Amino acid sequence: MTVSAAFRKKRKQKPTNEKAFDLAIFLLGTMALLFAAYPLYFVLIASISNPDMTSAGKVILFPRGITFQAYEFIFADQRLWNGYLNTLIYTLGTMMVGLVITLPGAYALSRKDFVGGSLIIKLLTFTMFFQGGLIPTYLMVNQMGLTNTRIIVILLSSCTVFNVIVARTFFQSIPGELYEAANVDGCGNIRFFFSVVLPLSTTIVAVIALYLAVAQWNSYFNAMIYLNDTSKAPLQIELRRILVLGESLLGGSDDLPAEQIEYMRKVTILIKYAVIVVASAPIIALYPFLQRYFVKGVMIGSIKG
């Protein structure tokens, strides 16, 4: 009797304990949510608020004194749009070149009956741990005469060992008998890859394409090193000019009256917020819909590190 009473007591006690636990989890989760999302949200509302309100600390939950001034300046800025266009070119180029290099190769490497495959994998994995580094790569690009060309920006970020491993791991789940059966019917490896493997692998195509696209969209370093012409500069280089180096879209001149300078200073800050929105919005807005692909990539990649 005492045992069952104690048991009953325990069962009665637990719900309050569990409730406290659930509440704590809820609060912690909300903290994480705010920590991650608020800075982004703040940039968004500050970009359409009166800069005086923002600097007075009055823009907290909603935009105040709504103005689209910054966006007007941005839409009129030729260089920024040119950067946007360049980034689109680089991103699409990287996606296409990257898929063409990564997927067929990863498929071949996933086949157990591929003689020499394990050697190639060893050679690829080695580059994860040891690279030539910045300077030898730079000298090579110079030697090849590819400095200041669009193609080098595309090529340098087209393929990573990680992407190959992810794609290969995915392809390994395709049963070997499938090819044997197709082969009996006279289907060769290349046709098999394009007409059987690829249609079965839309997930991995999306995963790799998205990884390549995000990496290229957000990168600035290679463009900074290898490109000299501003006409070829991607968006991130223009952003660096505005956000990090502090160049103004308005063009600086010192012989303006004081209130004019003060006004320009305010608009400059406003423009910074708006530029962040314009540059990040496409990815941040799209990724929740594509989230499962990104997560999938992490999962597949983690099976075989």
Burial class (CB in 10 A: 0-12, 13-18, 19+), 81: middle
What token pair was written down for 124?
């690829």
148 touching other proteins, by CB under 8 A:
no
State whether residue 153 is helix, strand or coil: helix
Exposure of 107 by Cβ count < 10 A (0-12 exposed, 13-18 middle, 19+ buried)? buried
Query: Judged by CB under 8 A, does residue 236 bind other proteins?
Result: yes
Closer CB to other proteins, 260 or 291, in the complex: 291
137 binds other proteins (CB under 8 A): yes
Q: Six-digit token pair at 63?
A: 């935009």
- Supply the minimum distance, in Å, between the C-beta of residue 106 and other proteins: 7
Q: According to CB under 8 A, which one of 28, 85, 178, 181 is a site residue for other proteins?
A: 28
Interface with other proteins, residue 109, by CB under 8 A: yes
Taking CB under 8 A as the criterion, the residue among 94, 102, 169, 172 binding other proteins is 102
Distances (CA, A) of 107 to 103, 156, 163, 196, 254: 6, 22, 12, 12, 61
What number of CA atoms fall less than 13 Å from residue 242's CA on the CB side? 27
Interface residue with other proteins among 111, 203, 261, 264 (CB under 8 A) is: 111
Residues 158-197 close enough to bind other proteins by CB under 8 A = 158-159, 164, 188-190, 192-193
251 belongs to the binding site for other proteins (CB under 8 A): no
Contact predicate 171/205, CB 8 Å = no
- Token pair for residue 64? 């105040």
- Which of helix, strand or coil describes residue 131? coil
Amino acid at 136: P
Instruction: Decide: is 305 part of the binding site for other proteins (CB under 8 A).
Output: yes
Task: By CB under 8 A, name the one of 114, 250, 261, 263 that touches other proteins.
Answer: 114
Does 105 participate in binding other proteins (rule CB under 8 A)? Answer: yes
Please give the C-alpha separations between residue 244 and each of 43, 101, 140, 231, 241, in angstroms, as whole numbers: 16, 35, 29, 20, 6
Q: How far apart are CA 258 and CA 265, in angstroms?
A: 11
Assess 15 for contact with other proteins (CB under 8 A).
Answer: no
Quick check: 302 binds other proteins (CB under 8 A)? yes
Size of the site for other proteins (CB under 8 A): 93
Q: How far is the CB of 194 from other proteins (least distance, A)?
A: 10
Among 89, 96, 174, 225, binds other proteins (CB under 8 A): 225
Give the nearer residue to other proteins in terms of CB position, either 1 or 135. Answer: 135
Output the smallest distance, CB 95 to other proteins, in A.
15
The minimum distance between CB 197 and other proteins, in angstroms, equals 10
